[in-house]
Structure formats: structure tokens, C-alpha cells
């Protein structure tokens, strides 16, 4: 089992929805945290709010990190090394999304997404895994998505990055298991985080589709299950009911999952068209 009390945990994307919940809950567990995000000032403000609520644990540092390039990942690694404390748990949480038909999303947008969602976790895992292997101890956690099991229209680049992160995590697990280094990969469903307001392009921007409110999970619940999965050294963690169901359907009845997905998209588009007509009539 992975012990989190007094453990040094590095979290990327710590200012986001999942990142804030990881910060809050790991401080409650007594961890010592190194937190990173793109904007250090924003990160520090959010951490200050959390520390007013939670007095256990410790924040060792808040660092700026732009993970869209190899240099950004290497810079973060060197900033962490300069702190002089070995990272025991790396949580690759940073992630972005874009919504749109593949041909309608600007190339620079989906290429940047691949850098942050897939390449950065691979780079950071490789850098920190070397240190963990040398110490014969460590844990690498990659926050993927249930989109890493089942891709849906409008999220093709996002799903590609999360499928890739799943494959990378499974391979990394085999690479490091002989050295007492653990790997966990997490597959949440849509949760109430800023990623739901991702930029939309082309047809999907015009349709302005929204998920039903009762489908959206609470980040606090998702991260609570995630942390339990880390403690138990689980390789695969499905932290909510929807993720569990989609995973099982994809594995055992993929045709049924495709039908359900098609029906959902049809109803979503129908509801959007009806809303547009009603708004036009009101005008």
C-alpha cells in the first residue's frame, strides 16, 4: 500500500477542479505537496483558500509550469529537484480539452492538447521514474478519462490523448514494477470542472450541446475514490458509476455501448434544436 501521510506528492494542474480537490484531500491526509500550474499567482490564491479550511499537511512549494513543450517539463523537473526533497508520488493531473469535429478544430489547438495531455505525463514520468527506480520506491499516477476507453464525436483529439495515456500507463507499469515503483491510471467521467467549458469549434460551437446536469459528477467524490485507488496501489481506477458502466460495456458489449452513445447524441441534438427554435420564437 502507498502511504500518503508525510509523503511528498507533486501535482500538476493543481489550480484546476481535480487539482484543488487533490490538494484539499491530500493535505487532510497529511501529505507534503509540491503544486504546479500555468499561472503561479492563480495557484497561490487557490491554495490560500484551501489552507484556511485545512490545517493539516504542508504545501512545500507552488511552481509555475508550462507543459506544452519538452522544455517546460524539464524546467519543472529541475525546479522540483532544486527543492532538495525526493518526490514519492507524482500525479500527472494537468489536462485540457477542445470540442469540435476533427477537421474543424485548428491544428495548433489539438496539437497543444496532445502535448499537455499525453506528452507531458510521458516526459515527467520518465524523468521522475529514474529517481524512483534509484530509490526503489515511488508511485506515478496518471489522470486519464473514460474517454480513454470509449471515444465520442466531438472529442476525438481528447480521446486520442487519453487512449494514449492509458496505453503508456500500462506499459510503464510493467517497466517499473520490478523496482517497487507503482503506477495508477484513473478514468473519470465528465465532472464539474472547468474542462466542461472547453473551447468549441465549427459545428459543435453552433449546436452548443450541453450534458444533462445529473450526468456530471462531483470532483470531491471522484478524487476521494482516486486517492483510495492510489493507497491500494490499483493500476486501473474507475472512480464513478458512469465510468465503471462504460468500461464494462466497452469490454463486453461494445455494440450496445455504441447504440447507447448514438441515441444519446441524437437526443442531445434534438434537445438543442428545440431550444434554439424556442429561443427564436421568444425573440
Separation of first and last alpha carbons in the chain: 60
Q: Using alpha carbons, select from 167, 196, 199, 195 the residue that is nearest to residue 183.
A: 167
Please report the pLDDT score of residue 264 as a whole number: 67
Q: Mind spelling out the 3-state secondary structure of 90-136?
A: EEECCCCCEECCHHHCCHHHHHHHHHHHHHHHHHHHHHHHHHHHHHC
Please report the pLDDT score of residue 196 as a whole number: 76
Q: Pinpoint the alpha helices (H) of 29-105.
A: 40-53, 70-82
Q: Using alpha carbons, select from 209, 215, 15 the residue that is nearest to residue 96.
A: 15
Coil/strand/helix, residue 59: strand
Phi, psi at residue 273, to the nearest 5°?
-65, -40
Please report the pLDDT score of residue 259 as a whole number: 86
pLDDT digits (tens, 9 = 90+) for 103-140: 999 999 999 999 999 999 999 999 999 999 999 999 99
To the nearest 10 degrees (0 to 180), the angle between helices 254-282 and 241-252 is 130
- pLDDT beneath 70: ranges in the chain: 207-211, 264-283
Please state, in angstroms and as integers, the Cα–Cα distance from residue 17 to each residue in 24, 43, 65, following that order: 11, 12, 17
Cell numbers 474517454: residue: 147
Please report the pLDDT score of residue 278 as a whole number: 38
Q: Is the pTM above the cut of 0.85?
A: yes
- Residue 60 exposed, middle or buried by CB count within 10 Å (0-12, 13-18, 19+): middle
Q: Say if residues 184 and 142 touch (Cβ distance below 8 Å).
A: yes
Amino acid at each position: 500500500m502507498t502511504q500518503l501521510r508525510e509523503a511528498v506528492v507533486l501535482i500538476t494542474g493543481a489550480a484546476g477542479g481535480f487539482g484543488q480537490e487533490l490538494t484539499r484531500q491530500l493535505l487532510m491526509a497529511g501529505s507534503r505537496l509540491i503544486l504546479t500550474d500555468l499561472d503561479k499567482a492563480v495557484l497561490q490564491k487557490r491554495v490560500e483558500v484551501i489552507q484556511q479550511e485545512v490545517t493539516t499537511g504542508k504545501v512545500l512549494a507552488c511552481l509555475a509550469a508550462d507543459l506544452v513543450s519538452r522544455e517546460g517539463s524539464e524546467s519543472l523537473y529541475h525546479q522540483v529537484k532544486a527543492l532538495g526533497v525526493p518526490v514519492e508520488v507524482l500525479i500527472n493531473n494537468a489536462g485540457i480539452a477542445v470540442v469540435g469535429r476533427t477537421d474543424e478544430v485548428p491544428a495548433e489547438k489539438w496539437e497543444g492538447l496532445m502535448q499537455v495531455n499525453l506528452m507531458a505525463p510521458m516526459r515527467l514520468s520518465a524523468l521522475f521514474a529514474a529517481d524512483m527506480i534509484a530509490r526503489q520506491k515511488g508511485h506515478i499516477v496518471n489522470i486519464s478519462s473514460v474517454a480513454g476507453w470509449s471515444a465520442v464525436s466531438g472529442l476525438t483529439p481528447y480521446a486520442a490523448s487519453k487512449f494514449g495515456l492509458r496505453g503508456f500507463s500500462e506499459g510503464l507499469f510493467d517497466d517499473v514494477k520490478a523496482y517497487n515503483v507503482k503506477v495508477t491510471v484513473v478514468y473519470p467521467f465528465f465532472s464539474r470542472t472547468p474542462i466542461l467549458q472547453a473551447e468549441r469549434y465549427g459545428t459543435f460551437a453552433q449546436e452548443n450541446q450541453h450534458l444533462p446536469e445529473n450526468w456530471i459528477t462531483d470532483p470531491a467524490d471522484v478524487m476521494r475514490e482516486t486517492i483510495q485507488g492510489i493507497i491500494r496501489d490499483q493500476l486501473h481506477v474507475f472512480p464513478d458509476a458512469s465510468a465503471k458502466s462504460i468500461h464494462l460495456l466497452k469490454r463486453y458489449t461494445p455494440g450496445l455501448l455504441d447504440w447507447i452513445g448514438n441515441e444519446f447524441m441524437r437526443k442531445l441534438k434534438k434537445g438543442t434544436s428545440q431550444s434554439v427554435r424556442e429561443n427564436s420564437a421568444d425573440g
